[in-house]
Amino acid sequence: MEPGEPDHTAVRTALWRALHVELDPPPHVLTDLIGLQLVAPPENWRGRPDMDPHGSVGSRLGMVARARFVEDLVMQRAADGLSQYVILGAGLDTFVQRQPSAGERLTVFEVDQPETQEWKRRRLTALGFGIPGWQRLVPVDFEAGVPWPEQLRLAGFDAGTPAVVASTGVSMYLTRDAIGATLRQCASLASGSTLAMTFLLPLELLPEEERMTRQLIVSRAADSGTPWLSFFTPDQMMDLAHECGFSSASCVSGRELIERYVPGTGLSGEEFLVATV
């Protein structure tokens, strides 16, 4: 592995996005093969157990649906005049490379660990994409307690102008206190800023047929050293957002999310909190 190479969750998400284009019928929710180019996996990557065409369908549709939801929100807000988009834990996100015209209206701030940012910079350069002026790779050492809003400002973020902040696939790995800290930091941004954050429901709120799968995933996550720590009901998530300073908060269910982009599947993804300062 190269120094700073993204963790297995970021790599898996990139591969699922590629599988969506390869296996699922059009129109595709999201067309992203750039993440696959960044990862450059071994030839046999499709044979991985987590890439099973049938077993991974819910996961890959969940990944592309949550990404599309955020990007639709960002483009809608950009059309209204918003000019800043912040991605917390950006990993292998490829919005900038897939939506080059968005650079006319947006500056995208990708926040991640310093080593991961350097790895991504090298890969984008090696593939010929480069780093356009409207893409800011913001290195933040989360483990050292570095405040990411300050690092944003050093990267050119305008604290007086509203932004959309996205945090997807992260909250389950954080404690409630750490999630609250992130919410308070986002709520300190300029009035009109919006946070879109995914979260997971407690086991007892899942349909019976989904509980065994959830328990298996939780067990595997713990065994791999990345345990899932936090689960919320929608009311708990909205209450926490209000406690942390947001003026309004709503939730989009995981079932509604996938139904919006892939109707008729009956599948469910992560829940979304959408909160506005």
User: Is the pLDDT score of 1 beyond 60?
Assistant: no
| β-pairing verdict for 194-199 and 271-276 | antiparallel
102 versus 211: which is more confidently predicted?
102
Which two three-digit tokens encode residue 24?
Answer: 């699922």
For residue 123, which amino acid is it? R
- 142 — pLDDT class (breaks 50, 70, 90): confident
Sequence ranges of the domains in the chain: 8-276
The fold adopted by the segment(s) 8-276 is Rossmann fold (3.40.50)
Which residues, in sequence order, are CB contacts of 105 under 8 Å at separation 6+?
A: 78, 83
**pTM summary value:** 0.93
Instruction: Write the pLDDT tens digit of every residue in 38-53.
Output: 999 999 999 999 999 9
